[in-house]
């Protein structure tokens, strides 16, 4: 008797999903718990596993279609034949010797749609690329790294261009354009950004911070910290802990607006913006005020990896009270971040640059970073915003204050 493969229960507040891609086609053998199809919601990609081993009898819904929870995606005929093929060994050996291509579903069984497109564009098989993601999953970064390596057979950036024997061989490239629909995530990001600009009275205040003491502290204890805790000591833990201390002094910045009410939160759940191949995500770390530096760095690394591997859940992306975003890792010198509603403030970090500063009457080179905090002027006054940012600056310029909480 056939088994119906249905759309699983969708995350709270998500009404529908888009079927991104099937990893199998009708008639293919499948094994229990093998991922059959990817469904994309506003925030996460859901994998639908096979409920049993057998043959995928019929696909009911195709790529790109919108589905609801409980919709029937396909029919599966259960059976034990999925574990081994009935094809004689001689035929299988002959097929390999003849160079027969592996089925598309087998080539990219553990890759996201974006990674599959990149592999196909460069005529690569996923067996050629070593995956660094969860369960050996291949990420976009893995493919790009492979393409830059000599093993790929491609020209590595910086290598001399191949010689052209005859200038007549040069062919002018045709002008072209490509139109592609937004992914659900990109469309949702666009919707939320526009909503934030139309709803909140956003204003940005700026300051700069001298990171000499933080950098010296990291340099002094970096190796021993990593040896003891098994995780690197990054900049983000300093900024998160400094933000928490400032939020304690100015609780309205940790608040949110609901209708005509201001909701004050007596906890500190910090969202950290993470860039992924699907777009920007803001996973949330809970109760950062109760974390040590090592706990924060460990949890941040784990949740960022989940986001980049496409394994993050809705519960990881909701409920934050304050957000930190770091455009400096991409070289940004200064920017005005947009609120992550319903939060009322967001802190923007930027690149660290050596700049001449006057210290004790002398001009010296110091590692400086511009800070930007965008806030909702409906409930946060300029005085509170400026004082908050000054507090963050003071905590970072004298990081011993973070340990003493003064």
Contacts of 367 (CB under 8 A, 6+ apart): 210, 211, 212, 215, 352, 353, 354
For residue 146, the model assigns a pLDDT of: 78
| Identical topology for domains 1-84 and 107-153 | no
Mean pLDDT confidence for 255-279: 91
Whether 381 is catalytic is yes
Torsion angle of alpha carbons 360, 366, 369, 370, nearest 10°?
Answer: 40
pLDDT tens for each residue of 46-100? 888 888 899 998 898 888 888 888 899 999 988 864 444 444 333 333 333 333 3
Q: Specify the fold of 186-404.
A: Chloramphenicol Acetyltransferase (3.30.559)
- Contact by Cβ (8 Å): 372, 204: yes
Q: Are 67 and 73 in contact (CB under 8 A)?
A: yes
Q: Sheet holding 3-6: strands in order across?
A: 3-6, 72-78, 54-59, 29-30
For residue 148, pLDDT over 90 is answered with no
Model confidence at 114, pLDDT cuts 50, 70, 90, reads low
CATH topology of domain 1-84: OB fold (Dihydrolipoamide Acetyltransferase, E2P) (2.40.50)
CA distances to 149, 163, 173, 186 from 155, rounded to whole Å, are: 9, 13, 19, 32
CATH of 107-153, one of 2.120.10.30, 4.10.320.10, 3.40.50.1220, 3.40.50.880: 4.10.320.10
Q: How far apart are CA 232 and CA 225, in angstroms?
A: 7
**CA nearest to 3, candidates 69, 39, 53, 68:** 53
- 375: DSSP letter: E
Residue 165, sorted as left (phi over 0), alpha (psi -120 to 50) or beta, turns out to be: alpha
For the chain, domain boundaries: 1-84, 107-153, 186-404
Residue 188 and residue 262: Cα distance in Å, rounded? 25
Report yes or no on whether pTM surpasses 0.95. no
Active site residue: 229, 265, 377, 398, which one? 377
Q: Is 377 known to be catalytic?
A: yes
Instruction: Determine the Cα–Cα distance for residues 283 and 364; give it in Å rounded to an integer.
Output: 38
269 alpha-carbon distance from chain centroid: 18
């Amino acid at each position: 008797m056939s088994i119906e493969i249905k759309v699983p229960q969708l995350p709270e507040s998500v009404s529908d999903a888009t079927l991104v891609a099937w990893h199998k086609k009708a008639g293919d053998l499948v094994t229990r718990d093998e991922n059959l199809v990817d469904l994309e919601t506003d925030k996460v990609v859901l994998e639908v596993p096979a409920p049993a081993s057998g043959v995928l009898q019929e696909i009911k819904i195709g790529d790109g279609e919108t589905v609801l929870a409980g919709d029937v995606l396909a029919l599966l005929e259960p059976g034990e034949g999925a574990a081994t093929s009935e094809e004689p060994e001689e035929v299988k050996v002959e097929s390999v010797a003849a160079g027969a291509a592996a089925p598309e579903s087998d080539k990219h069984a553990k890759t996201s749609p974006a990674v599959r497109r990149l592999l196909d564009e460069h005529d690569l098989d996923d067996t050629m690329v070593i995956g660094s993601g969860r369960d050996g999953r291949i990420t976009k970064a893995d493919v790009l790294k492979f393409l830059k390596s000599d093993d790929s057979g491609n020209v590595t950036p910086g290598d001399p261009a191949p010689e052209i024997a005859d200038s007549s061989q040069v062919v002018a490239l045709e002008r072209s354009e490509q139109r592609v629909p937004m992914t659900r995530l990109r469309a949702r990001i666009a919707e939320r950004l526009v909503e934030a600009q139309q709803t909140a009275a956003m204003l940005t205040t700026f300051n700069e911070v001298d990171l000499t003491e933080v950098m010296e502290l990291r340099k002094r204890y970096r190796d021993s910290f990593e040896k003891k805790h098994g995780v690197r000591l990054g900049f983000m833990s300093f900024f998160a802990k400094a933000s928490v201390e400032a939020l304690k002094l100015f609780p309205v910045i940790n608040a949110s607006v609901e209708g005509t009410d201001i909701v004050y939160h007596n906890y500190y759940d910090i969202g950290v913006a993470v860039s992924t191949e699907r777009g920007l995500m803001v996973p949330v770390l809970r109760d950062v005020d109760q974390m040590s530096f090592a706990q924060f760095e460990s949890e941040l690394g784990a949740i960022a990896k989940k986001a980049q591997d496409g394994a993050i859940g809705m519960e990881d992306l909701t409920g934050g009270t304050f957000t930190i975003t770091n455009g400096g890792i991409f070289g940004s010198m200064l920017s005005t971040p947009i609120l992550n509603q319903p939060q009322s403030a967001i802190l923007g970090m930027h690149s660290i640059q050596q700049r001449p500063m006057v210290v004790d009457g002398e001009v010296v080179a110091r590692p400086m970073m511009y800070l930007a905090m965008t806030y909702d002027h409906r409930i946060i006054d300029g005085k509170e915003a400026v004082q908050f940012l000054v507090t963050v600056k003071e905590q970072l310029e004298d990081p011993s204050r973070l340990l003493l909480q003064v």
